[in-house]
Amino acid sequence: MALLSLTPFLSLAVFGLLATPAGFLRFRKSKLGLAPFVCILGLAIALVSTVWLGFTSPSPVSFGGLQVDLFTLFFSGVLLIVAIFVTVASLQNMREDPNKGPFFGLLLLSTLGMIVLAASMDLILLYVAWELMSIPTYALTAFRKKDPNSNEAAMKFFVLSALSSALIVYAISLVFGITGSTGLTAIASSLSTAGPDVRPFGVLAIVLFIVGFGVKMAVVPFHMWIPDAFEGAPVTIGAFLASGAKMAAFAAAFRVFIVGIFAFNVDFYSTFAIVAVVTMSVGNVAALMQKSFTRLLAYSSIAQAGYILMALATPFTTTSVPLGLAGGLFHVLNYAILKTAAFIAAAAVATKLSVTDLDSFNGLSRRMPQTSLSIAVIFLGLAGVPPLNGFFSKVMLFTGSIYSPYSWGGYLALAALINSGFSMSYYGWVIKRMYFDEPGDESRIPEPRIYMVVLWAATILIFVIGLYPDPWIRLVQSAAAALVGSRGS
Amino acid sequence: MASSLIAWLIWVTPLVGALLTPLFAKMHSRVRDVAAVGFTFAAALLAAITALMVSAGDYTVSWIPSLNITAGVLVDPLSLFMANIVAWISLLIMIYSVGYMKGEFGLTRYWFFMNLFIGNMLLLVLADNLLMMFFGWEGVGLCSYALIGHFYRDEPQYWVGSPGDKALDVSEEYSPSKAGMKAFVMTRIGDIALLIAIFLIYAFARTFNYNQLVTQLGGSGSWAANLARLGLLLPTALLFFGGPIGKSAQFPLQEWLPDAMTGPASVSALIHAATMVKAGVFLTGRMGPVFFIALSQFNQVPQFFGVIAWIGAFTALLAASQAAVAREIKKVLAYSTVSQIGYMMLALGIAGLSANFLAGYTAGLFHLLSHAVFKASLFLAAGWVLHVAESRFMDEMGGLAKAMRVTSASMLLAGLSLMGIPPFSGFWTKDAILSVSFLGGQYILYGLALATAFITGFYTVRMLGITLAGKPSKHVEELTEGGKHPHEAGFTMLIPYLLLAIGSLGLGLAYPFYSGPLTTYLASAFSATVYKLPAAYTPTSGLTDLLLLSVSTVVAVMGGVVGYLLYFRKRYEFRTDMNPVQRFLYKRWYLDAIYYKVFVSGLLAASRGLYTYVEQGIWNRLNNTIARDVMDYSRASDQLDTQVVDRAANEVASYGSRLSNFLRRLQSGVTEQYIIAFAIGIILLLAYMLFVVGAT
């Protein structure tokens, strides 16, 4: 029966392999072919089994280095929702593309990598999952092979991503050298007794982990590929990178730092605090300066990464469910929904206007009312305006930081609050453009129905989570507890 | 249960109404208008029923048990007092809107945001915890922003400021959309301070609930004690007060309100005179006693309440002085609103500074009531006046009283109340504030308030004189010749402001009868078991009281006489060559311009600098100039080589040139710079961890 716990992984693997050949098959009249449906089926089975597992067998099940616990299931739920949104939205912009099979196949395989990443309790498995997640995304970023921007973006993404993989491998080897193990619990018990002579190597490993994960998490100054990649990649893949890959990288960082490295007597919390403040500040300031919508989204996603990093900057005791960590996971959930929806809204605008510079958003509310409304809701959610979902995760993150045993916790919360207020300036600016500025062209633009389905689903979720956050908070609290529980005794 | 449901419905009803507006609009525009007013009427009725029939209490339901947060409606004298003011004045203004907004575009949007506003405002007032209060607080802010910018097409007649107005080269003219943005950003500053304070309180008290905050005050382990131990109690209180400063447009965040007058007059009356700007006073009234008890355990009361009182008194004088030279009728009223709210803040501050907390406290709240009534009336009437005169400038009105006797009478009644002339309600409540500051021993504050009373008398008479009395201006004469005779408003508009003006008189006449019971009622919130306030209300000796009454009245009348001599029976011309004092006041003490330079331009410049130097990098810019040359060259050769027909900028031609192009860009160093930044990042992190952290 324990094998049932692997259903999400198996479903993604099997359907991922099926999707590519299925791309060559098609219904008689449909342009779409079978690949997207195989893809959605695989994701749906995975999501349903994830939810089912979460309700029926919340106690952790281990398969060597792969651990299926509530933390894993939480992340796989989030990532699968993102993947489903992206797949559905891709039905629209991949309609004319002849290579649907590989596209959806790669999407599934990358998703598989992400959820394995969240399940990894072993560094080798973690690395394999990391690569399984990354390699398909290079191809997906460069999927418009005739578009030089897409190629350039993929190239930059690839170079920096390869660098990050290399750093992670280096960090893993250092940790292995110190502890003689690749399992996270074994590493923890061995690190807690590590002598001062290995200390510099341990510190180096920590830095390399931060940098390696940081590239995908969009940590400043390792974020520079992000605006380029999001702008160059097909828009739905932008959503996939911004919400999927980034959140998976956070999952990896949570596992490695909170289960493994915490035992090492080095204060990496303040490092994360500094990195968090720098990341959110640079992201917010740079976002204000952008003239293109996708670049603005890219920088806002960098700023949001800064907030989530606060969860790693709050140490806690194992006795209670850590508020900051739960807040971080909650923000992961909210951010994933908000950002995916934001990119899909951008896709809706981009496919119809073929540009996404902010001037084309002037008076958009009269041209694309549904898209504009959802962008407004999403932006208010990202800014943390109550009663939308982003508010409560920020409340938890910031309060968690105030509870921090370190005296700088309050200042971290203060910096985040000021940042959060500052971010309202550019979110508000876009809303003002959409609702109060005169459009250059008054004509009504038909809004792609598939995008609207995703946008409305996301908008409703944003309100539901914001108005009744309790079940979601209990979910993230138990996920956080599961993560802390996966520490060795 | 049923009774608590009524209390809940007070704020839910208008929100539901707002959400249903688009549906009603689909049926018929008439249905939409009637339904919008109907929902507000329902809310007002519910508020009245709650006040009469629902017993006081905290009606909570479970909301987020995982964080120990409940949702609830707090029915107590303060919330009912405020909720009834808000709901009933809202109703009158909604009725006025039916006539006033007839034929304007975007009416569905207008009704939606009006009802959304009313719902959020009632939520703010009735919430039993800081979190829900903050929801309402943000909600009214958003609605205010949307309604200020209602005429987002920015036609010149909806602007605020004279054409070409400048201070320190910063334009003082505001279009509706710009004013909306300004209001939003400026109140945001206060909101962040408020939010920080709320977080701090929650972090230490682990609750947002007002009653729990009060009951957990006692003892050495209380949240206040824990905050005080870290030296954070006074900062928390002051940060908390930042929210009211922003929302109620007090110094130093007073500058957004005058420009918010770009909205329709009904919006100005509802949001920027009667209700939303009072939210700050309300919140200070709500949490003031809590902070009073908390701070009194650590002898920090005078610092906090001193700040409130001084900010209030200073703002009152500052804004009144600006009203004395303003050119636009709505701006006079806006400055006057800021100034009057300053009075209320002064009263709340005095409450903490004097031995008699309740005297100052109720004086502030009474003034809130009387100001809401007469200022709403003035705004609504002014809305009609500027509609008739087809101008927002007072010098383009004049002599309107002959044709508009009822409107003029209504404005006169409300104006006398604003001046503080007996027996209008404004007289009693303003005098109460002046007396408590005198009796509380705050003679400088009393002086400031008295000076404000003088200027208030002056600018009120000036406004009435220029617009209604005197000779018709050229503009009005031209209108009359063109066949547009000034005339009275229709009943839907006339009745609301007339009713409010008469109400102001009625409240004044009845004041001696209801003030005592209402004071007792408001004081009953502070039952000795919970609040332990110095609650005994001791009336002062008759003679002192009478003396103070006559002083404040005489001063206001003197101001009025000066205004009368200068502005009645004359044709007023607006002159740009002002004397230095006038110019200083007219340019708003240059505060607006300085803020703009420092905060808007400064912040943008700082962001831009940070972005270009930190984000794009100095080396990036250096390399980019070289890269651009290379790119230009390659682009030119591309076009020559391939002779593409469509030369849209984002299309590059052949595969070969594309490949070379992106390789060129890669080699031009962009990616290299990323890796350099990468390396620097690693080195910095390593250095930090090894030398700063590792040292432990």
The 3-state secondary structure of A383-439, one letter per residue? HCCCCCHHHHHHHHHHHHHHHCCCCCHHHHHHHHHHHHHHHHHHHHHHHHHHHHCCC
Quick one: CA dihedral B26, B30, B33, B38, positive or negative? negative
C-alpha B157/C-alpha B390 separation (Å) is 9
C-alpha B260/C-alpha B184 separation (Å) is 10
Q: Kindly tell me the burial class for residue A48, based on how many C-beta atoms sit within 10 Å of its own C-beta (0-12, 13-18, 19 or more).
A: middle
C-alpha B689/C-alpha B143 separation (Å) is 48
Give me the mean pLDDT over the A10-32 stretch. 80
* Rg of chain B, C-alpha, whole Å: 29
The interface pTM score, or ipTM, of the predicted complex is 0.84
Please give the residue that has the higher pLDDT: either B432 or B614.
Answer: B432
pLDDT at B260 over 60: yes
pLDDT at B653 over 70: no
| Neighboring chain B residues of A414 at a CB cutoff of 8 Å | 196
Backbone dihedral angles phi then psi of residue A284, each to the nearest 5 degrees: -70, -45
DSSP H stretches of helix in A313-408: 323-353, 364-367, 369-383, 389-403
pLDDT at B173 over 90: no
What pLDDT is recorded for position B176?
Answer: 78
| Neighboring chain A residues of B64 at a CB cutoff of 8 Å | 392, 469-470, 473
B664 Cβ under 8 Å from any chain A Cβ: no
Give the contacts of B353 (CB within 8 A, at least 6 positions apart): B301, B302, B305, B306, B309, B360, B440, B442
Please give the residue that has the higher pLDDT: either B546 or A237.
Answer: A237
Interface test with B, best of A285, A394, A396 (most B CBs within 10 A): A285
**Which of A421, A429, A469 is opposite residue B188, by nearest beta carbon?**
A421
Q: What percent of chain B has pLDDT over 70?
A: 86
Q: Is residue A261 a contact partner of residue A209, using CB atoms and an 8 Å limit?
A: yes
pLDDT tens track for A422-443: 888 888 888 888 887 777 777 8
Residue A200 Cα to chain centre, angstroms: 31
Interface test with A, best of B682, B683, B684, B692 (most A CBs within 10 A): B682
| Neighboring chain B residues of A274 at a CB cutoff of 8 Å | 688
Q: Do B680 and A224 touch (CB under 8 A)?
A: no
Q: Is residue B417 a contact partner of residue B374, using CB atoms and an 8 Å limit?
A: yes
Lowest mean pLDDT among A186-190, B148-152, B264-268: B148-152
B682 Cβ under 8 Å from any chain A Cβ: yes
What pLDDT is recorded for position A317?
Answer: 62
C-alpha B495/C-alpha B410 separation (Å) is 10
A329 Cβ under 8 Å from any chain B Cβ: no
C-alpha B387/C-alpha B591 separation (Å) is 30
pLDDT tens track for B276-335: 889 999 999 888 888 888 888 888 888 889 999 999 999 999 999 988 888 888 888 999
The encoded tokens of residue A106 equal 């790669």
Give me the mean pLDDT over the B71-96 stretch. 89
What torsion, rounded to 10 degrees, do the Cα atoms B459, B462, B467, B470 define?
170
Q: How far is CA B500 from CA A342, B111, B337, B459, in A?
A: 47, 22, 16, 21
DSSP for A449-469, written as a single string: HHHHHHHHHHHHHHHHHHH--
What torsion, rounded to 10 degrees, do the Cα atoms B137, B139, B144, B145 define?
110
What pLDDT is recorded for position B316?
Answer: 92
The encoded tokens of residue B345 equal 């803040």
pLDDT tens track for B333-363: 999 999 999 999 999 998 888 877 888 888 8
pLDDT tens track for A460-470: 999 999 988 99
| Neighboring chain B residues of A402 at a CB cutoff of 8 Å | 199-200, 203
Rounded to the nearest angstrom, the minimum Cα separation between A382 and chain B is 15
Q: Do A395 and B199 touch (CB under 8 A)?
A: yes
* A161, closest residue in chain B (CA to CA): B675
* B62, closest residue in chain A (CA to CA): A470
DSSP H stretches of helix in B248-328: 256-259, 265-269, 279-296, 301-323
Q: Do B615 and A417 touch (CB under 8 A)?
A: no
What pLDDT is recorded for position A319?
Answer: 57
Of A387, A397, A375, A380, the residue nearest A466 (C-alpha): A387
B666 Cβ under 8 Å from any chain A Cβ: yes
What pLDDT is recorded for position A318?
Answer: 55
When pLDDT is cut at 50, 70 and 90, the band that residue B533 belongs to is low
Rounded to the nearest angstrom, the minimum Cα separation between A448 and chain B is 23
pLDDT at B623 over 70: no
Q: Is residue A439 a contact partner of residue A362, using CB atoms and an 8 Å limit?
A: yes
Quick one: CA dihedral A460, A463, A468, A473, positive or negative? positive
Of A291, A287, A199, the residue nearest B686 (C-alpha): A199
pLDDT at A95 over 80: no
Degrees (nearest 5) of the Cα angle B279, B132, B3? 95
| Neighboring chain B residues of A149 at a CB cutoff of 8 Å | 650
Looking at chain B from residue 123 to 152, which residues have their Cβ under 8 Å from any Cβ of chain A? 131, 134-135, 138, 142, 146, 149, 152
C-alpha B335/C-alpha B316 separation (Å) is 9
Give me the mean pLDDT over the A229-257 stretch. 89
Interface test with A, best of B662, B683, B692 (most A CBs within 10 A): B662
Write down the domain spans for chain A. Answer: 290-489
Buried b (16+ CB within 10 A) or exposed e, A423-434: bbbbbbbbbbbb
What pLDDT is recorded for position A275?
Answer: 92
The encoded tokens of residue B221 equal 């382990």
Strand partners of residue A66: A63, A120
**Which of B135, B673, B681 is opposite residue A211, by nearest beta carbon?**
B681
Rounded to the nearest angstrom, the minimum Cα separation between A204 and chain B is 7
Give the contacts of B177 (CB within 8 A, at least 6 positions apart): A432, A436, A437, B149, B152, B154
| Neighboring chain A residues of B666 at a CB cutoff of 8 Å | 152, 155-156
pLDDT tens track for A284-314: 888 888 888 888 999 999 999 999 999 988 8
Give the contacts of B345 (CB within 8 A, at least 6 positions apart): B244, B248, B250, B280, B281, B284, B308, B309, B311, B312, B315, B364
| Neighboring chain A residues of B615 at a CB cutoff of 8 Å | 282, 285-286
C-alpha A33/C-alpha A44 separation (Å) is 18
Looking at chain B from residue 178 to 207, which residues have their Cβ under 8 Å from any Cβ of chain A? 180-181, 184-185, 188-189, 191-192, 195-196, 199-200, 202-203
Interface test with B, best of A207, A220, A296, A426 (most B CBs within 10 A): A207
The encoded tokens of residue B130 equal 């800081």
Of A377, A372, A375, the residue nearest A444 (C-alpha): A372
Give me the mean pLDDT over the A243-270 stretch. 88
Q: Do A418 and B674 touch (CB under 8 A)?
A: no
pLDDT at B261 over 90: no
The encoded tokens of residue B689 equal 């961890």
A265 Cβ under 8 Å from any chain B Cβ: no
C-alpha A236/C-alpha A216 separation (Å) is 17
Q: Which helix (H) or strand (E) element contains residue B537?
A: none
C-alpha B269/C-alpha B271 separation (Å) is 6
What pLDDT is recorded for position A333?
Answer: 94
C-alpha A219/C-alpha A241 separation (Å) is 14
What pLDDT is recorded for position B78?
Answer: 87
Give me the mean pLDDT over the B455-476 stretch. 84
Q: Is residue B572 a contact partner of residue B469, using CB atoms and an 8 Å limit?
A: no
Q: What percent of chain A has pLDDT over 70?
A: 97
The mean pLDDT value of chain B amounts to 81
pLDDT at B198 over 60: yes
Q: Do B66 and A210 touch (CB under 8 A)?
A: no
Phi-psi region of A303 (alpha: psi -120 to 50; beta: other; left: phi over 0): alpha
Q: Look up residue B637 and give its amino acid.
A: S
* Rg of chain A, C-alpha, whole Å: 21
Give me the mean pLDDT over the B186-209 stretch. 86
Q: How far is CA B80 from CA B71, B73, B93, in A?
A: 18, 11, 20
Rounded to the nearest angstrom, the minimum Cα separation between B651 and chain A is 8
pLDDT tens track for B211-241: 888 888 877 778 888 888 888 888 899 999 9
What pLDDT is recorded for position B495?
Answer: 87
C-alpha A295/C-alpha B461 separation (Å) is 55
A320 Cβ under 8 Å from any chain B Cβ: no
pLDDT at B652 over 50: no
Strand partners of residue B209: B129
Q: Kindly tell me the burial class for residue A475, based on how many C-beta atoms sit within 10 Å of its own C-beta (0-12, 13-18, 19 or more).
A: buried
- Give the number of A-B residue pairs with CB atoms closer than 8 Å: 158
C-alpha B16/C-alpha B34 separation (Å) is 15
DSSP for B132-198, written as a single string: HHHHHHHHHHHHHHHHHTSSTT--GGG-BS-TT-EETTEE--B-HHHHHHHHHHHHHHHHHHHHHHH
Interface test with A, best of B12, B63, B67, B230 (most A CBs within 10 A): B67
A261 Cβ under 8 Å from any chain B Cβ: no
Q: Do B694 and A435 touch (CB under 8 A)?
A: no
pLDDT tens track for B411-434: 999 999 998 888 888 888 888 888
Q: Do B678 and A222 touch (CB under 8 A)?
A: yes
| Neighboring chain A residues of B673 at a CB cutoff of 8 Å | 224
What pLDDT is recorded for position B650?
Answer: 42
